[in-house]
Amino acid sequence: MALSVEKWVGFGSAMAGFGLLWSRMPEHVHDEARHIIGSLVPMLMSCFNPYEQISISEYGEERFRRNKMFDAVSTYLRSTCLDVASNLKAELGDKSRNDLLISLDEDQEVVDNFDGARMWWRLYPKSAKKRGATVITLVPGDSDEQPRCYRLVFHKRHRKLVLDSYLPSVVRHWREQTAMNRQRLLFTNHSQQGKSHWINVPYNPPAKFDMLAMDHSKKVEIMDDLTAFREAKEYHSKVGKAWKRGYLLHGPPGTGKSTMIGAMANFLGYDVYDLDLTSIKDNAELRKLFLDTTDKSIIVIEDIDAIEVELTTKRKGKEAAQENSDKRTVVEVRDKTKDHGKVTLSGLLSFVDGLWSACGSERIFVFTTNHLDRLDPALIRRGRMDRHIEMSYCRFEAFKMLAKSYLGITEHSLFGEIGQLLDEIDTTPADVADNLMLRARGKRGGEIDRLLDEMNGAPADHMLRVKRRREADACLAGLVETLKKAKMKSATPPMDSME
């Protein structure tokens, strides 16, 4: 007992001596000692803490691009771990009003088991700060105000299992679910509180290539080109080019340019992004919109010639020679009511075929125009718009495709006359299709109904065939009449030219 007391007395004396020595040391020695102790504390805590943590943020560095791993985890937890969660969130999906999506609510923790290892998941809301565990950050960038993120906590001994097996299985599950439940979407950019973002609706275009009113060989050529692009991942990687392709659709209004885009989306199974340049204020906003697009998508700028574009020149310096060397061409994109800012031509070109075009893969750019001659040659040159597809007026081959689609016939006594008229005048497939729609029978509908009444008692299938034949006769006769009127109008000179 006396020995123990002596030890405590000796320990107290030593501490008193250390305190006296510490008080006589210079202040900078105190600061240095505190710094050393402060740096050692986290290391000591990590040694005693048996758990590690992975953060998966909703957005990447500077919140500039959405993190696909965040979406993968959301899909995985929604399908595998919701049964053990007490706090859930419900919202309507994109497919229909009745498509209810249940997901994990914020600050709700769930437990998952994988090969005997336990994994703890929690969704932290915005501005959540990192807690006192060893952290592995899959997405760079950190700040006091962080976006939403998932935190995965696991035992240190399962680190290799998590990185090599568990997280890859989460990604595989996400891809399988996405492919199984895929709904094509139509996106458009929307400006809210001065910032643009994509909004979407379900997209199920009815158009298919076999319905397009154009030459059959031309359609086959386009489909072969799209197929070659879809299967050219290794080729683009081999030659060092971004996996993208540009199509310029040009021709008069009503020749099927928008229908062609729908057919391309159906053929490839891609989403469509309809980009409205008039609502974009600058190049930075254009780049962010582009980075938020997904792979396997068609990015469309329709009627690019109709956008009010003014080319101006900004010059810098005092002397004319210096000004000419520093000039920069700017595309000012405006609507008629507001000045939304400026998108430079170089910014638009970089979006299509520059540095930023390599951010992503398997994308198709489509420009449509009614006036090819109004576009800047730099915007539509080969390499940016790889294929120029002319959507022309309706000729006989295109008409036969329309007659088969709308009337279900491949031959008729009026085909010869219609073919001759289509060769003599320029009319669009839209105008021809309008005449072939069954609602376009006009006064002839009453005559067909009267004939069917007279056939009362005939077999149903016979009556149906007669009805279809009469409808086809009426529609084709109406088309002939419309084409003859158009021919006479085109042959008659305007009144002002006769004066």
Closest to 112 in 3D by CA, of 79, 135, 147, 65: 79
Per-residue confidence (pLDDT) for residue 84, from 0 to 100: 67
Neighbour-count burial of 244, counting CB atoms closer than 10 A to its CB (0-12 exposed, 13-18 middle, 19+ buried): buried
pLDDT 10s digits, 353-374: 777 777 778 899 999 999 888 8
3-state helix, strand, coil in the chain (%, to 5): 50, 20, 30
Tell me the residue type at 217. Answer: S
DSSP code per residue over 371-430:
-GGGS-HHHHSTTTS-EEEE-----HHHHHHHHHHHH--S--TTHHHHHHHHHHS---HH
Contact indicator for 430, 254 with CB cutoff of 8 Å: yes
Q: What's the whole-model pTM score?
A: 0.61
**Structure-token pair, residue 250:** 């040009």
What pLDDT score was predicted for residue 299? 94
> What pLDDT, on the 0 to 100 scale, is given for residue 328?
46
Length of the chain counted residue by residue: 499
Neighbours of 257 (CB within 10 A): 23
Decide the pairing of beta strands 185-192 and 134-137: unpaired
Structure tokens at 99: 């498509």
Radius of gyration of the chain (CA): 34
Which tokens is 189 given? 């950019």
Q: Which residues does residue 135 pair with via DSSP β-bridges, in sequence order?
A: 53
Secondary structure class of 35 (helix, strand, coil): helix
Residue 166 tokens, joined: 């568990």
Angle between helices 345-353 and 283-291 (to 10 degrees): 20
CA neighbor of 273 nearest in space, from 293, 247, 248, 259? 293
Residue 70: strand, helix, or coil: helix
pLDDT tens, the chain, 499 aa long: 554 556 665 666 666 666 666 666 666 555 666 666 656 555 555 566 788 899 998 887 655 677 888 889 988 988 887 776 677 777 765 544 456 677 777 878 888 999 889 999 998 887 645 444 455 555 444 445 567 889 999 998 999 999 999 999 999 998 888 777 777 899 999 888 777 889 988 888 888 898 888 888 899 999 999 999 999 988 888 888 889 999 999 999 888 999 999 999 999 989 999 998 888 888 888 888 888 898 889 999 988 876 644 433 333 343 444 444 444 444 455 544 444 457 777 778 777 877 777 777 889 999 999 988 888 888 888 778 899 999 989 988 888 888 888 888 888 888 999 889 998 888 988 888 888 886 544 444 455 555 555 555 555 566 666 677 788 888 888 888 989 888 888 776 655 545 4
So what's the pLDDT on residue 359?
A: 78
Predicted local confidence at residue 87, as pLDDT: 74
Sign of the Cα pseudo-torsion (215, 216, 218, 223, in order): positive
- pLDDT computed for residue 16 by the predictor: 65
In which residue are the tokens 């405590």 written?
A: 8
pLDDT of residue 198: 92
Q: How many CB atoms lie within 10 A of CB 486?
A: 16
